[in-house]
Amino acid sequence: MKIINMFPILFFTFLSLFLVTQANAYESHHLSNHEDWSVKVEVYNDNSMSCASYTSNHDSIFDMTITSKGDVYLYILFDNSETSINGKTLPFDLVITGGLFTERWKMDYVRFTPQGGIFLFEDIITAVEFMVDVQQGNSIYLTPPDQTKAISTWSLTGSRDAITALFDCYRKIASTSL
């Protein structure tokens, strides 16, 4: 079991900065497809950039985004406008299943909006460890803390190549942002 702890004040500071940046997005470019996954780059009005690797199921999107500054966000996008968790910050678990392993990641401080959940990794090392687990898995599902019933499930088929492409994209935008 892997636990990700983070200070709420720091989270909300980064969250508000990121939401302002997201509101200023003006170009999104699809870079590649990798089975169930896709990769894109976004360029914002202030010339900052981000790269995203994402997959979807019938009603939600699982998205990992790296900004040109190296911040890593996890978005779980779904219609949350009618639920009781809208506007709340709650812990959730992400369970990655693979052939011989299961990893449970405890995601503290997931902020829920009408569009879904947003989580900022506290450091790049933890984010990379999470992404390596995703690359090695077969599926990932979202659950309430310490429970087994999935709220949503996504395929990880193609995630290895998509996350490699995400890192390639990040290296390019980081070098152009210097």
3-state SS of the chain is CEEECCCHHHHHHHHHHHHHHHHCEEEEEEEEEECCEEEEEEEECCCCEEEEEEEECCCCEEEEEEECCCCEEEEEECCCCCCCCCCCEEEEEEEEECCCCEEEEEEEEEEEECCEEEEECCCHHHHHHHHHHHHHCCEEEEECCCCCCCCEEEECCCHHHHHHHHHHHHHHHHHHCC
**pLDDT value, residue 173:** 94
**pLDDT value, residue 2:** 62
The pLDDT averaged over each successive group of 10 residues in the chain (178 residues) is 48 43 70 96 91 93 94 87 77 91 91 86 93 95 90 94 97 84
**pLDDT value, residue 11:** 41
Give this prediction's pTM. 0.82
**pLDDT value, residue 148:** 87
**Contact (CB, 8 A) for 72 and 120:** yes
**pLDDT value, residue 3:** 58
Q: Which residues of 75-100 are buried (b: 16+ CB within 10 A; e: fewer)?
A: bbbbebeeeeeeeebeebbbbbebee
Q: Which domains does the chain have, with CATH numbers?
A: 2-176 (2.60.40.1880)
**pLDDT value, residue 125:** 94
